[in-house]
Amino acid sequence: MRIIRGSDLQPADPTPGMDRRLAFELPTLWSGQVETAPGAVSGWHHHDVNTSSLYVVRGVLRLEFEGYDGYVDAEPGDFVHVPPFTVHRESNPTDAPSLAVIARMGGGVPTVNVDPPPGRRDG
């Protein structure tokens, strides 16, 4: 057993507009957090073969994803499930930073930055 202090988190797999920080990584588990600045919109990305679970601690995590026209908002106390290879982006429509805790399982590449899906754009 070990404890990883918040002050020990390391910068991780960057996507424009998001500050991911790694707590620990095992062969099939990635654990950390993501903070999204007020008004920020991330780049489009997916998480390879990994299944991701996010728990929203504070703020609003807005999600857009391939195959869905529009967006959904996750708020404090909400969990988000992101299946493998799901092309998506997050944003923060509020004036305060959002924070979510991430657990990613599968052992693939943590984050793959990609071009926007057909019919979508950056920013």
In a domain, 101, yes or no: yes
Q: Are 123 and 42 in contact (CB under 8 A)?
A: no
pTM (predicted TM-score): 0.90
Q: Residue 36 falls within a domain, yes or no? A: yes
Q: What is the domain count for the chain?
A: 1
For the segment 86-106, what is each residue's pLDDT rounded down to a tens digit? 999 999 999 999 999 999 999
Cα of first residue to Cα of last residue in the chain, in angstroms, is: 42
The answer to whether residue 47 sits within a structural domain is yes
Residue 123 has pLDDT above 70, yes or no: no
CATH of the domain at 35: 2.60.120.10
**Number of helical (H) and strand (E) elements in the chain, helices listed first:** 0, 11
